[in-house]
Amino acid sequence: MQQVRVRFAPSPTGPLHIGGVRTALYNYLFARKNNGTFILRIEDTDQTRFVDGAEEYIMESLKWCGITVDEGINEGGKYGPYRQSDKKDIFRQYADLLIDKNDAYYAFDSRDQLDKLRKDADKEGKTFIYNASARNSRQNSLSLPEAEWKQRLKDGAPYVIRYRMPLNEDIHFDDLIRGHIVVNTSTLDDKVLFKSDGMPTYHLANIVDDHLMEISHVIRGEEWLPSLPLHIMLYRSFGWDAPLFAHLPLLLKPDGEGKLSKRDGDKMGFPVFPLYWPYGETAKGYREEGYYPEAFINMLALLGWNPGTEKEIFSMSELIDAFSIDRVHKSGSRFNPEKAKWFNHQYLMQRTNKQLAIEFREFLRIQGFHHDIGQIETLVGLVKDRVSFVSEIWNETDFFFKSPETYDKDAIKKRWKPETPAQLLELKEVLAGIEDFKPDAMESKVKSWIEAKGYNTGAIMNAFRIVIVGASRGPHMFDIISWLGKEETLKRIDKGVSVIGKSL
């Protein structure tokens, strides 16, 4: 196979959608798997859609995901510039080349004229197409006398350069995912290649750059498939070999009805961007929501590709080993927010208690709790199987750090019996007599006491939980009190019995 060179070519028009991150990821996996080169190219020739901060956002997102760029604006490389607006003159030369070959022409129609034609066609239920059948009645270098259009150019009249799409010709091409495709040119228009603002359009810049950068495979979103016939024609006009193409399936809404959008995320409470977007209309990001980049990447990789086995947890290097384009799906992949959390939970469970303690300590510090890391380690070990995010550890452990201020009314109604206060005070004496405040030792002593007294274990333990935790939740009781220590445990029994007693 020829040297693999692939590119991720986003336009800096706002935050990078997770569908875009997936495109970058598949390109990256393909490059690494084939000892190829992964290029980041910024396609910013549409000045009207340019958004400040977007370019940096793209780079930071890839970095957070662990997708390393081989050639790009920051990395350099032999095929630069890697930002298209930095080479508009080069694109202009290629547009001129097509004019010389008579495969492109100057068009002078104003925006108002074209808008009117579109509206008139709409009224008749038709679509206006600027193509072979329409171009002769328009203002361009194919329809006007040569002297006239040359004069217009000399006078500095605004113009665009359009591709001269042949009439009624079948274009055949292949897509690595979609297979063989045939499109007849009569459905295609004479697309603008170069605009009156001196910038190339996406189509021209994209083809020229892919050629100049010696791109071997174009792996991109399915929304670009309709542009492919034009791209194939452009390659033909230039006399260049086209790269191979793979158009990735769409990322769909959770209900499968249409493309996943920011609004779906806002409505259902999940991010559709990798990082928080801080400009204008701000948006949530996976990073800030507490996702591990490894979990995010693992989830994305499986949205549109499968390894052919049941295995779901993949590190980046395992993804590189397993990835192949022929296992990319043809149909769209539904985004599943619950599955995203599930992936994060899996990665959280893989972390050592020490790592989690270090991450969780930061939350505690912000709330003013400064506990020894060893203590926090024990704590996270008790609750990690119940959480998907480090931030959720707090909801599971708040009562470790503060004695209950209120006691759950429903729990009291259900669990608090007239004999409970006396039993809990007895339990307090039993615990007071235990030297080694370790879960197992305590458990066996308390159980023998309950047995000797003929009490009901459930009744005692449930009431005990209410005074210690404030509600019917939390991990194993003896793990909790061992962590709290004797003094705090006994205090909580006294306080609970007294406060609940007064409330009844």
- Cβ proximity to ligand GLU: between 165 and 219 the closer is 219
CB of 384 to ligand GLU, least distance (A): 39
**Contact yes or no for 306/299 (Cβ under 8 A):** no
- Name the nearest CA neighbour of 234 among 378, 98, 376: 98
CB of 286 to ligand GLU, least distance (A): 20
d(CA 272, CA 497): 49
CB of 24 to ligand GLU, least distance (A): 10
d(CA 208, CA 238): 9
- Cβ proximity to ligand GLU: between 206 and 388 the closer is 206
d(CA 344, CA 346): 5
Q: How many CA atoms, within 13 angstroms, populate the side-chain half-sphere of residue 375?
A: 15
Is residue 192 classed as helix, strand or coil in its secondary structure? strand
d(CA 470, CA 467): 5
**Contact yes or no for 213/57 (Cβ under 8 A):** no
- Name the nearest CA neighbour of 207 among 243, 180, 170, 257: 243
- Cβ proximity to ligand GLU: between 11 and 344 the closer is 11
**Contact yes or no for 282/300 (Cβ under 8 A):** no
Q: How many CA atoms, within 13 angstroms, populate the side-chain half-sphere of residue 45?
A: 26
Q: Which of 259, 262, 354, 445 is catalytic?
A: 262
d(CA 129, CA 238): 24
Q: Hey, what are 432's tokens?
A: 């007071």
**Contact yes or no for 175/217 (Cβ under 8 A):** no
CB of 289 to ligand GLU, least distance (A): 25
- Cβ proximity to ligand GLU: between 10 and 274 the closer is 10
- Cβ proximity to ligand GLU: between 23 and 344 the closer is 23
CB of 108 to ligand GLU, least distance (A): 28
DSSP labels, 165-179: PPSS-EEEEEETTTE
- Cβ proximity to ligand GLU: between 10 and 332 the closer is 10
CB of 223 to ligand GLU, least distance (A): 8
Residue 187 CB partners (closer than 8 Å, separation 6+): none
Tell me the longest C-alpha to C-alpha distance in the chain.
Answer: 113
- Cβ proximity to ligand GLU: between 12 and 470 the closer is 12
Distances, alpha carbon 90 to alpha carbons 95, 161, 208, 209, 425, in Å: 9, 15, 9, 10, 86
d(CA 20, CA 327): 19
Buried b (16+ CB within 10 A) or exposed e, 379-417: bbbbbbeebbbbebbbebbebbeeebeebbeebbeebbe
Residues engaged in binding ligand GLU (CB under 6 A):
9-11, 43, 202, 206, 220, 224
Beta strand pairing status for 333-334 and 160-163? unpaired
CB of 67 to ligand GLU, least distance (A): 15
- Cβ proximity to ligand GLU: between 43 and 264 the closer is 43
**Residue 490 DSSP one-character state:** H
Is residue 254 classed as helix, strand or coil in its secondary structure? coil
CB of 227 to ligand GLU, least distance (A): 8
Q: Is 262 labeled as catalytic in the residue annotation?
A: yes
- Cβ proximity to ligand GLU: between 220 and 287 the closer is 220
CB of 127 to ligand GLU, least distance (A): 24
Catalytic residues: 262
